[in-house]
Amino acid sequence: MAHGVFGTAINCMDGRTQLPVNEYLKSHYQLDFIDTITEPGPVKILAENQPGVASIQHRVSISVGAHCSKLIAVVAHHDCAGNPVPKETQLEQLESAVNTVRAWNYEVKCIGLWVNENWQIEPVG
């Protein structure tokens, strides 16, 4: 059994997003560790039910099951190479992606986060 309080971030593989997201989640949700599941443009994958959804869900289940993660954050960000669409489109995808993750019925809080052009976190929804 893991010691410490875990959260889970479904984040882009873009290295610019990792540290700000992890620091935000640790400070705002009193988490010790963040299990990070990365994909290029994960909100597009989750919103459009693309190949890769089952892999993301499997990794979330490990985080929630083995580490007792108490929070799942789904992240979209400015200047995403894996999902090069306008912010408005990404925010729509983010909402849909959060709903997809919530439908997996883990008994933990699920939130959406936007990482803006200054690499600052904005909660969404």
Residue 3: the pLDDT is 78
Write out pLDDT tens, residues 59-118.
999 999 999 999 999 999 999 999 999 999 999 999 999 999 999 999 999 999 999 999
How high is the pLDDT of residue 77?
Answer: 98
pLDDT the model gives residue 53:
98
Residues in contact with 124: Cβ distance below 8 Å, sequence separation at least 6, in sequence order: 76, 91, 94, 95, 111, 112, 113, 114
pTM above 0.85, yes or no: yes
CATH 3.40.50.300 is the classification of domain 6-124 = no
Summarize pLDDT for 21-43 with one digit per residue, the tens. Answer: 999 999 999 999 999 999 999 99
User: Over 60: is that where the pLDDT of 1 sits?
Assistant: no
- CA distances 55 to 30, 42, 45, 59, Å, are 27, 11, 11, 6
If one compares 1 and 29, the residue with the highest pLDDT of the two is 29
The full set of domain ranges for the chain reads 6-124
